[in-house]
């Protein structure tokens, strides 16, 4: 692997406002804040990475992320570095992932290769150019949920995801029923509890699932309650996906050993980047688990990187959770296209897209800070 010499590093703080608030068991989301990393080489080439930490995934906060990016960028500027060593520079998963993605992007552009083809690991299948993706249903009440569901079905999504466990089960049940009533044949639903139920509450919910076209339930109980997840899995109502339970490689080992899940949800932006994510994906698949890749509700730069990662995984997996671009009032670049429920993986060298300068200027919350060696 050729080394990359970084000449300059800039970090752009940004804010993305949501079109509608998203209620989760971790709280109400009205915006996403993060940092766009810009690495430049001696010939003027540029690579981009996104660091956008979120609550609930054992990640750094914005302040720690900023300091980790400063330290990581300073380390990169001290001399030639290998792309494969980028994971050692961030110190925090969001920062680490952004630095690795920016290095991969820059290096792939230098060699006129696509981002996925530049990954320093082997995969069994060539990259695909389209990924089936689930649609995220956003809505406070039944009417809003029905409206959103109809829009997503019109885009061709065959899997719709609804966040639950952020209100009383009686209210959630009405919302779920509104979603079910909006479906057409062939469309399934996913429920994401974000660890918000107790085991007793989860059993109550599981008992109501009969007759619903339920594809899976994400993180029904607290991330560290793997024994409860294993018992719920034995309950046999529907497949269980571990999400917040899998934020480190050691976590995955525990999930496998405890039999807590049928599926693991991997968020490359929360796991330290594509290299760490692929190692976890390979281990999960070897253990007989299914892998789903999702965004961190981050910018289109982060989603693009995740899409390239997902495109290298074995085919025939359930739809990935990468159709999140429409939740923002404005993004750093146009959202990735979705056609017939499939997300178009960006083409071209590197990530296949760059931030729009006007959008970046509008969405910055402060002037970019430059990092010097």
Q: Which residues are catalytic?
A: 161, 267
Taking the C-alpha atoms of residue 206 and residue 211, their distance in angstroms, rounded to an integer, is: 11
**Which residue has tokens 């897209």?**
353
d(CA 159, CA 144): 18
CA distance 108 to 137: 35
**Residue in the block written with tokens 């520079």:** 89
């Amino acid at each position: 692997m050729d080394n990359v010499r970084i000449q300059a590093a800039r970090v752009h703080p940004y804010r993305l406002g949501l079109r509608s608030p998203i209620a989760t068991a971790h709280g109400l989301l009205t915006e996403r804040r993060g940092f766009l990393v810009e690495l430049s080489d001696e010939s003027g080439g540029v690579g981009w990475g996104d660091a956008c930490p979120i609550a609930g995934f054992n990640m750094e906060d914005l302040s720690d992320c900023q300091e980790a990016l400063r330290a990581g960028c300073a380390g990169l500027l001290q001399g030639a570095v290998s792309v494969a060593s980028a994971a050692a520079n961030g110190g925090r998963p969001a920062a680490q992932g952004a630095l690795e993605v920016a290095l991969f992007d820059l290096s792939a552009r230098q060699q006129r290769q696509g981002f996925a083809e530049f990954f320093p690991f082997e995969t069994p299948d060539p990259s695909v150019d389209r990924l089936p993706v689930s649609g995220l249903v956003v809505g406070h009440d039944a009417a809003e949920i029905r409206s959103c569901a109809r829009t997503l079905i019109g885009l061709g999504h065959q899997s719709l995801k609804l966040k639950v466990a952020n209100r009383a089960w009686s209210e959630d049940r009405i919302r779920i029923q509104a979603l079910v009533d909006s479906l057409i044949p062939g469309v399934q639903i996913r429920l994401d509890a974000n660890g918000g139920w107790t085991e007793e509450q989860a059993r109550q919910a599981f008992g109501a699932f009969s007759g619903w076209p339920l594809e899976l339930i994400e993180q029904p109980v607290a991330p560290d309650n793997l024994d409860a997840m294993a018992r719920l899995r034995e309950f046999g109502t529907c497949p269980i996906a571990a999400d917040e339970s899998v934020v480190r490689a050691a976590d995955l080992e525990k999930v496998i050993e405890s039999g807590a899940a049928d599926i693991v949800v991997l968020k490359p932006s929360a796991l330290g980047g594509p290299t760490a994510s692929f190692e976890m994906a390979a281990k999960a698949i070897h253990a007989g688990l299914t892998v789903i890749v999702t965004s961190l509700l981050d910018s289109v730069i982060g989603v693009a990187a995740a899409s390239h990662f997902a495109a290298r995984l074995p085919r025939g997996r359930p739809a990935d959770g990468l159709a999140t671009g429409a939740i923002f009032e404005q993004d750093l670049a146009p959202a990735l296209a979705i056609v017939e429920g499939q997300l178009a993986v960006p083409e071209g060298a590197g990530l296949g897209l760059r931030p729009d300068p006007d959008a970046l200027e509008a969405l910055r919350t402060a002037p970019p800070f430059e990092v010097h060696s």
